[in-house]
Amino acid sequence: MSDEIDLTSPEVKAAIDAAVSEAVEGLKSKNTELLGKLKKAQKDSAIDPADLEAVERERDELRAKLSDATKAANKATKELEAATKRAAETEAAFNNTLRDSALTEALTKAGVTSPALLKAAKALHASGVEVVDDNGAKAVKAGDKALADFITEWAGSDEGKYFVTAPEANGGGAQGGHGRTTPTGDAGGDQAARTARAAELLKANSA
């Protein structure tokens, strides 16, 4: 009887297959067991208190910095809004002063010298006069015209003549018997009459 094993025999092949299968299954089972232990170890692993404290401290520092940055941003925004408002108010006041001064000058040069009539004329034209930017410089205009040109034209109109004070002329006959100045053109009447007429025109234009 021979001691050699016939590796080609069905029985031997079956035994080998069974052994290999058992070994593979064993390895699979061991791998699954090891993975379970690893997951459990990760789940049950404790965090170093020092590391946790460091992370929480960093978090709190970042929160504080964010809070400070937000407060600084809000303060800067409020200061900017206040500065913008002050600048706008300052510019508005300057424009009002510039407009009033230019209107007074233009009317005076056009012959509106009586304080009462000057005040009325300024009230009449105030809403139509504005300060505009003219190539980087401020200019006072009435509509699309330079203020001086507009007022000069207006002073020569039927409406404007009631506001213009006639210049005194040298020589006899220039003044009436009581030294009253006679207005130019056909305005007629003394200053009181012309002031009353100017007031009527002002009321009509503001209605």
Start-to-end C-alpha separation, the chain: 141
Note whether residue 94 is domain-resident: yes
Residue 99 has pLDDT above 80, yes or no: yes
Structural domain containing residue 161: 77-206
> Beta-carbon neighbour count of residue 22 at 10 Å?
10
Element housing 142 (H / E): strand 137-142
DSSP alpha helix (H) spans, the chain: 10-44, 49-109, 115-125, 147-155, 191-206
Tell me how many domains the chain contains. Answer: 1
Tell me the two tokens of residue 65. 């910095």
Task: With respect to residue 171, please indicate whether it lies within any of the assigned structural domains.
Answer: yes
Task: Assign 159 a pLDDT band (cuts: 50, 70, 90).
Answer: confident
Interval 168-191: pLDDT, tens: 434 444 344 333 333 444 444 555
Q: Is 19 exposed, middle or buried (0-12, 13-18, 19+ CB in 10 A)?
A: exposed
Least confident of 90-94, 127-131, 161-165, 203-207: 203-207
pLDDT at position 51 is 73
- In angstroms, the CA 40 to CA 27 distance is 20
DSSP 13-55: HHHHHHHHHHHHHHHHHHHHHHHHHHHHHHHHPPPPHHHHHHH
Handedness of CA 108, 110, 115, 121 (dihedral sign): negative
- Mean pLDDT, residues 64-71: 86
Q: Is there a domain that residue 140 lies in?
A: yes
- 69 occurs within a structural domain: no
With respect to residue 33, please indicate whether it lies within any of the assigned structural domains: no
